Amino acid sequence: MMEKIKEAADHIKSIYGGQPGVGIVLGSGLGSFTNEINIEKEIPYADIPHFPISTVAGHSGKLIFGELSGKKIVAMAGRFHYYEGYTAQQIVFPIRVMKFLGIQTLLLSNAAGGVNTSLKVGDLMIITDHISQLAPNPLIGKNYPELGPRFPDMSEPYKKDLINKVKAIAAQKGIKVKEGIYVVVTGPTFETLAEYKMILAMGGDAVGMSTVPEAITAVHMGLPVFAMSVITDVGIREDHTAVTHEEVLQAAKAAEPNFAALFIELVAQL
């Protein structure tokens, strides 16, 4: 695997000579954030050796290199999910490659279902912690000491200083942000009512199908992480109506301007 990571990173370096300091993963419905980037180079995943290829509507599947807030960044437009049939190790491959490209901070985003009743559709939620017991861990299997330790500490997966920075930016811009615990599930089914209630009972505030494997991998490599959810639906509904992917994409789109304002200023302050 080390070889594959290096081959992918070397291939990218042969195409793009810049040095990104920040990696950004864009969640469902947040792809228009790429309009904020002064794009220098786009590389489709299909052109990168050993990269999986994204299959979900709303995830376009390329690495975007360029400038944001005057900083060199790399953004993943489209990420990989366990429900697509990839292994947990394949899902996190791009995160490892971005580390080998030299990023020093990883910013993650996602669309998530709210389970804490204080969360409403369109809310932005800073992920303060996660519960990863309902989905496979990407570090299962051979450990590569060049990447990190066999038993990584997870006492602060999401860096407090980054969380505090975003809270200060939000306060200064008058953008409301909430904080909460994200529970990752495999999907692709949205949860049953009983499952949403279980997730709430186990201490979760929101639930989704991504982000946590990527955060775990980054922490394993000593890469600081910040993560934010856009609440696109609420799980425990009085009317028991269905959750749809279209609804999720729509709600994420609506919340995108505030999300973008926070990420742009956070990158400026890194």
Residues forming the site for ligand HPA (CB under 6 A): 111-113, 185, 190-191, 207-209, 232-233, 235, 243, 248
Among residues 105 and 229, whose Cβ is nearest to ligand HPA?
Answer: 229
Among residues 191 and 205, whose Cβ is nearest to ligand HPA?
Answer: 191
* Minimal distance, residue 95 CB to ligand HPA, in Å: 20
Question: What's the residue count for the chain?
Answer: 270
* Minimal distance, residue 106 CB to ligand HPA, in Å: 20
- The residue to which tokens 């890469």 are assigned: 223
CA distances from residue 241 to 108, 128, 192, 237 in whole angstroms, order as listed = 29, 29, 11, 7
Which residue lies nearest ligand HPA, judged by its C-beta? 113
| Residues pairing with 225 in the sheet | 106
* Minimal distance, residue 236 CB to ligand HPA, in Å: 10
Q: By the 8 A CB rule, do 223 and 147 touch?
A: no
Among residues 111 and 162, whose Cβ is nearest to ligand HPA?
Answer: 111
Among residues 169 and 248, whose Cβ is nearest to ligand HPA?
Answer: 248
* Minimal distance, residue 229 CB to ligand HPA, in Å: 9
Distance CA 114, CA 128 (A): 15
* Minimal distance, residue 197 CB to ligand HPA, in Å: 13
CA distances from residue 34 to 25, 115, 125, 181 in whole angstroms, order as listed = 11, 29, 21, 27
Among residues 208 and 224, whose Cβ is nearest to ligand HPA?
Answer: 208
* Minimal distance, residue 210 CB to ligand HPA, in Å: 8
Among residues 119 and 221, whose Cβ is nearest to ligand HPA?
Answer: 119
At position 100, the amino acid (one-letter code) is F
Helix (H, G, I), strand (E, B) or coil at 48: coil
Distance CA 36, CA 194 (A): 40
Count of H-run helices and E-run strands, the chain: 7, 9
Cβ-based burial of 45 (10 A; exposed 0-12, middle 13-18, buried ≥19): buried
